[in-house]
Structure 1
């Protein structure tokens, strides 16, 4: 079975360390699996039920839902903004949760990971993302996670894929997500 994993990156910043971590996941995907970074989260309007009606759903939201629905699993990369996840990531989760109980996230294996400047690597934001994803219907892989502290210093001159420790840990996370997707597909 070929496993398709969609990566959502909660940072829109050019040169984002979370984007770089997602790029590393793309390169570290094991044989038989593909990780694809989904661009365009900045184009998705804030969730509003008034525009989430058949025939009126914005194209960027439709593209987001279709990409996630077609995936076998997700990797969600979250930086930490003021102790929580970025609005762009929460907005994507809101769009993906609808229709309630049957959204694109429904029963989809998801791992939340990321990096941040602080000493804990953004764990508060990642915990908030896990909570929101679980409520939205995803199958959150609670024990499959990675938080890399000190991103500004650690990745100042080194891409995460070239950091042996991060690459090994990230590779293990991707392999666990692939295994969860394969298990879900066989159930």
Structure 2
């Protein structure tokens, strides 16, 4: 299978505000495990994004500062990886709120439309964010994002997967994460190939 000829920038978004959240730790592990063709950057300012309010949107074109920062990071990225926890059988409100802001067209255009997205999640419980990922997938489809269908990563019992420093130590989870990242590399190539990659993919042997 062909690989990306140029490194691609991938924005990583954790759906939890907790600094030591399992999903933030999962994304940080991904930054070390990603293939050299992917540059992963974890967005750490989700707490600066206020509740969506159309009155605020009208008063401040492009949204408040936190929204503008998130939208600019999204516009600059070739792809997006979201790691979501599960709150009461759904994605957290803070993540849904961020997507509501991003779904609005700003100075950068519609930053979610046709954006390649991969989703995964970690939970301290036994279900591994299955329902949260399902609801997140539905919202992303409504926003016009191109969500990678497989492989799925549902990290259950996360307290046993990381050490006291927050480092991923479980080999099975590490293998699943590496497989996910390689699949996302190919997903980027498939849905948004560069001109040179498209030419190479279409070349006759």
Q: How does the TM-score come out when normalised to structure 1?
A: 0.91
**Distance (Å, rounded) in 2 between the aligned partners of 1:35 and 1:166:** 18
**Distance (Å, rounded) in 2 between the aligned partners of 1:149 and 1:55:** 41
Q: Which has the larger radius of gyration?
A: 2
**Distance (Å, rounded) in 2 between the aligned partners of 1:139 and 1:103:** 13
Q: CA RMSD in A?
A: 1.9
Query: Which residue number in structure 2 is paired with residue 93 of structure 1?
Result: 99
Local SS of the residue matching 2:192? helix
Structure 2 residue 126 is matched with structure 1 residue 119: yes
Aligned length: 186
Shift of 1:88: 1.0
Unaligned runs of at least 5 residues, structure 2? 1-5, 199-205
Structure 2 residue 33 is matched with structure 1 residue 34: no
- The answer to whether the Cα contact below 8 Å between 1:160 and 1:166 also exists between their aligned partners in 2 is no
**Distance (Å, rounded) in 1 between the aligned partners of 2:39 and 2:46:** 20
Shift of 1:185: 2.6
Summarize the Cα distance change of 1:160–1:130 in structure 2 as closer, same or farther, 3 Å threshold.
Answer: farther
Summarize the Cα distance change of 1:41–1:158 in structure 2 as closer, same or farther, 3 Å threshold.
Answer: closer
Query: Which residue number in structure 1 is paired with residue 203 of structure 2?
Result: none
**Distance (Å, rounded) in 2 between the aligned partners of 1:142 and 1:160:** 27
Match runs of 1:162-173 below 5 Å: 162-173=169-180
Match for 1:62 among 47, 62, 68? 68
Query: Which residue number in structure 1 is paired with residue 56 of structure 2?
Result: 51
Match for 1:174 among 176, 181, 194? 181
Shift of 1:162: 2.5
Shift of 1:18: 0.7
Q: How does the TM-score come out when normalised to structure 2?
A: 0.84
Summarize the Cα distance change of 1:138–1:160 in structure 2 as closer, same or farther, 3 Å threshold.
Answer: farther
Shift of 1:99: 2.0
- The answer to whether the Cα contact below 8 Å between 2:162 and 2:169 also exists between their aligned partners in 1 is no
Shift of 1:156: 5.3
Shift of 1:2: 1.2
